[in-house]
Structure formats: C-alpha cells, structure tokens
Amino acid sequence: MMKYWHDLLAAQAKARPEAAGFSDSVGVSWSYGALATAVAELSQVITQAGVRPGDRVVVLAENCCAVVAALLASSQCGAVAVPVNARMSSGEVDRILDHARPVVVLISTQIEGSAQTHATRLGAEEITGSFGAMHMACPYPSSGDAPADAAVLLYTTGTTGAPKGVMLTHKNLLYGGKASAELRDMVPGDVIYGVLPMTHVFGLASVMTASLYIGAEVLLEARFSAEKLYQALRRGVTRLSAVPQMHALVMQFAKEQGLDRLDSPVLQYVSSGAAPLDPDWKRRAEAFYGVALQNGYGMTEATAGVCATKNSSPGNPDISVGPPLPGVEVRIDESVAGGGEGIGEVLIRGDNVMLGYYRNPEETALVLDQDGWLRSGDLGRLDAQGFLHIEGRSKELIIHGGFNVFPPEVEAALNAHPQVVQSAVVGRRGKGDEEVLAFVQVSQDDQPDVADLMQFVRGQLAGYKCPAQIVLTEALPAAPTGKILKHKLLEHFAQQLR
C-alpha cells in the first residue's frame, strides 16, 4: 500500500521503467525510469544542502520536467514542497518565503522569463545533474517543524491579503491522483496535455499526480498557446483538462484556420474546471471536440476535486458540477445564504480535505471544524439526484485564466500608490473567464494617470492578477458606515466599463 506521494513514481519506475513519462517545451523527455533517477539525484543534492524531514523546499517554477523532479525529490527526502509560480512579483514571492521559511529554493531557470530574475535576486547558484540545470538558494536554516504527514504547501491569500499555506498531506495527494485518474478512465500510455500550472492544485493533483498514478505520458507546457494546444490535440493527446478560456481560445484558433471541428481520432476525454459552464458554450465545445464536455468543482483546500460529471455523450444539458467524488461528503448549510430554495454554503468532508493552514490555527479554525467539515465559502444546492449546483461565491475570489485572484491583494497594490484614496476590486464574468476590474477613488485635485497607475500595479503583482480596467472616481458607492458597496459597483459604473 502506498503511503507517500513519491511512491507513485517508484511504482511506475519499477513496473514500466522505459514507458514515456514527462516531456517539456525545452526539449527534455524522460521515461519513468529516467525521472526516478533524476528525483533520486536531486533528493541527494537538497539533503546535502541541509534539508531535513519537515523542512520546506520552495519550487519557484513554470511547467517543465525539472519541476516534476524537484517536487518529488522534496517528498522523497521527507520535506514539504512549496510550488510557487515564477511569474509572481518579487514582493509576492518574498512574502511566501518569509512565511514558509524554506531551507532550499529551487528555481526552474530553463524556462526563459521571470525565474532567472528571481534566481539573480536571491543569489541562487546553478546546480546540474540528471535532473537538468536549475538554480538553488538556501535562505533559512533547518527547522523541521511542519507536520509529519504534510507533503505540499500551496499558498493562497485570505480576506486580509496575507498568504495562507494550504497543507495537503500525502494521503490527500494520493486520493486526488487516484480519484482524478479513475474519473477520467485514464489508462497507462494515455497522452495528457500539461499546461495547467503545477504551482496550482488543478495542475498538481488532477494532471501531474493523476498521471503518476496511472502511468500516463505528460506533455508539459510552460505557457498557454492556442496554437500549441491545437497542434498537440491533432498529434495525439487523449485526455484534456483545461479552464474555459483555454477551450475558447483553441476553438477560435481552429476557426481562424477554417475548421469548426477538431476531428481527433484519439481524444477520449475533455473537462472544464475552475469556472462555471454556460449551456450554450458547453454545446459549442462538445461540437468542436466531438466528445462530452465534463464539468467539476474543487478548491485548493480540498485537493482540487470535490464533485465532477461523467456524461457518456455530448448533448447532455446538465451544467451541474456532478455528484461528490467517491468517499467525499457534501452538505449544504442553508443558514449561510438565508434565501431558501435549498441554497447555502457548501460543506465538504473526506480524504481530499486539507490538514489546515500552515502556522495559522486561527484561520484553520474558521473553515475546518472538529468533525472534519470544510467550509468552502461557496454557495450551492443539491438537486434530487444529489448533483451539486454552484450558485455563487460568498467569498470574493476571482478566477482569471485558471488562477485565483483575491481582491484584497489587488486592492493593497493599488492603495500603495500615493495618489489613491481607496480602491475596490471585483470580478466580471466574461466569455468563459472572469475579468479583474478595479474602481479607484482619487481626489479631484490630485489624480494619477491610469496608464501610470496600471504600470505601478504591474510592478507589484503577477500579470494575471492585474486589472483589465481601472476606473477612476471621486466617490465609491458606500453605506452610511463608509463600507464600500461592492455589489453595486458594476451597475454604478456601467457607462464607464468597456
């Protein structure tokens, strides 16, 4: 029986060492045996650098083979892997480093872009081996104070904008990989397209870990490109998990080539996650792919998966997120919504639920009770079949391009500008995605230039968190108490929105 996350790799390397494992956009291609060799060597390197069980290893990364090796090497030496998107700004990265206090930071500098900048800033030195070339920094001494069963910390932010490290255990990841593989009917030799970032739970659990569980081949991509996805689908990808924006863009690319159907003889499964489905859009996607489009619901604190559909053919009008995954319980707390009609906060319990927030018992207690029920912060209802329908978010989370964007974090960046009085950030549903919109209160006599303010924010935040539009105003709609009425912003400023 498997106990640890890296046991999945050990099983594949023993049973099918020559089978295709992971390949990436920089030309690296590993069999499962080669991946096991790379993991073993990198595990030795970070152990020699001072990593001990319970320590944290930050993997500052974009999708590539070396990142897979780094994550599993952390697990193999008993440390906790902390995947962090290399596209984050230096301030965002530093806040995570200050909280996680990693003994080692591994940086995937094979990918051109932000990673090299971080490596230089952190004084990292290059390391090479069968795992390829990476950079390594050693910012903190060993402490070994993470819970023994923690495998991964995935950082999110809460209502205060402070980083919160979601502790996922080995058991969580093993469950998530198995559930995802079985849901998709994956088999050894399947070809999976891996553009969902492994620094996000969707890519980490539902793509990487599921593929390790079953022994699939994964084609890793660091950056999404509709053309590259289209070409990969035509070349033999058998199962595709993506977010609505990716589906929309690849369909648009095909249309520009004069095609309205993919016509892939091998594509067996397509799913859309991280954002709600529109019935009309679902029908168009199914006509394009020629297979049913599956829907699902998950969150970082529940190892990605909570519910999912498994329709056998296109044309099913159901846009629910399906029934709970095997072993997962879902119930509705109607006292939260207070609106009747069976709608309330979605509560979750099962082997998918996180251990808690790292070094943050107060926040953990707010969402996780003594009986193991996780408060999702999302509003939903269960229909007569037991299928879950998500009705909205009680939290302010915005999902843009498959990434989580928390308004308080964006507001904090805006408010740091000397000419900003206060700001409010909300999401607006677009075609398969949400836009980040910012409403900024300024004084009549001292107003910033919008372009300059946008540039200011881009210096502090990852690109996907930056507003699509900034609206300047001398007053924001507010209650008598002064509290900004966010639910009125889109209507109040409708004439100024493009």
Same-domain status, 141 and 228: no
Residues 370 and 456 in one domain: no
Q: What is the CATH number of the domain that holds 364?
A: 3.40.50.12780
Q: What is the CATH number of the domain that holds 418?
A: 3.30.300.30
- 200 touches 402 (CB < 8 A): yes
> Which of these ranges, 6-10, 255-259, 340-344, has the smallest mean pLDDT?
340-344
Residue 301, class by beta-carbon neighbours within 10 Å (0-12 exposed, 13-18 middle, 19+ buried)?
Answer: buried
Count the neighbouring beta carbons within 10 Å of the beta carbon of residue 498. Answer: 5
**Phi, psi of 356, rounded to the nearest 5 degrees:** 150, -175
Query: Does the residue 247 lie in any domain?
Result: yes
CA separation for the pair 386, 394 (Å, rounded): 22
Answer whether residue 475 is part of any domain.
Answer: yes
Mean pLDDT for the stretch of residues 298-308? 93
Residue 70 to residue 373: CA distance in whole angstroms:
32
CATH code at position 172: 3.40.50.980
Tell me which of 244-253, 341-350, 411-420, 487-496 is least confident.
244-253
Q: Determine contact, residues 399/378, Cβ cutoff 8 Å.
A: no
Among 393, 426, 452, the domain boundary falls at 393
Distance CA 143, CA 147 (A): 12
Q: Are 302 and 402 in the same domain?
A: no
Going by pLDDT thresholds of 50, 70 and 90, the confidence category of residue 296 is very high
191 lies in some domain: no
Instruction: For CA atoms 218, 220, 224, 229, give the dihedral sign.
Output: negative
Final residue in a domain of this structure, among 350, 375, 393 = 393
Residue 300's pLDDT band (cuts 50, 70, 90): very high
Flag whether 109 is in a domain.
yes
Per-residue pLDDT tens over the stretch 16-51: 999 999 999 999 999 999 999 999 999 999 999 999
Question: Quick one: 290 and 385 in the same domain?
Answer: yes
| Main-chain phi, psi angles of 435, to 5 degrees | -95, 145
Q: How many domains are there within the chain?
A: 3
Do 15 and 160 fall within a single domain?
Answer: yes
**Cβ–Cβ under 8 Å, residues 254 and 260:** yes
Confidence of residue 75 (pLDDT cuts 50, 70, 90): very high
Same domain, 177 and 243: no
Does residue 154 have a pLDDT over 50? Answer: yes
How many angstroms separate the CA atoms of 454 and 67, rounded? 32
pLDDT band at 162 (very low <50, low <70, confident <90, very high): low
Looking at every residue in the chain, the average pLDDT score rounds to: 90
**The pLDDT of residue 482 is above 60:** no
Model pLDDT, residue 276: 64
Whether 362 and 404 share a structural domain:
no
Same domain, 82 and 175: yes
Rounded to the nearest angstrom, the gap between the alpha carbon of residue 284 and the centroid of all alpha carbons in its chain is: 25
Q: Tell me, letter by letter, the H, E, C secondary structure of 60-86.
A: EECCCHHHHHHHHHHHHCCCEEEEEEC
Tokens matching residue 192: 């999976």
pTM for the whole structure: 0.83
**Do 441 and 485 share a structural domain?**
yes
- The CA distance from 396 to 386, in Å, is 26
Query: Residue 418 pLDDT more than 90?
Result: no
Q: How far apart are CA 202 and CA 357, in angstroms?
A: 18
Query: Does 385 share its domain with 412?
Result: no
**Is 96 domain-assigned?**
yes
Hey, what are 71's tokens? Answer: 């994550």
Query: Residue 189: what are its φ and ψ, rounded to 5°?
Result: 95, -10
Query: What is the distance between the alpha carbons of residues 205 and 338, in angstroms, rounded to a whole number?
Result: 34
In a domain, 425, yes or no: yes
Q: Which of 274, 276, 268 is closest to 292 using CA atoms?
A: 268
Does some domain include residue 199?
A: no
Rounded to the nearest 5°, which phi and psi values hold at 122?
-90, 0
* Contact (CB, 8 A) for 226 and 322: no
Q: Are residues 403 and 335 in the same domain?
A: no
37 in the same domain as 145: yes
Cβ contact 132:61 at 8 Å: no
Q: In the structure encoding, which two tokens stand for residue 332, read together?
A: 């509705």
Query: Considering the domain boundaries, does residue 162 fall inside one?
Result: yes
* Residue after which a domain boundary falls, among 345, 371, 393: 393
Domain, as residue range, for 421 = 398-496
Contacts (Cβ under 8 Å, ≥6 apart) of 275: 243, 244, 245, 399, 432, 433, 434
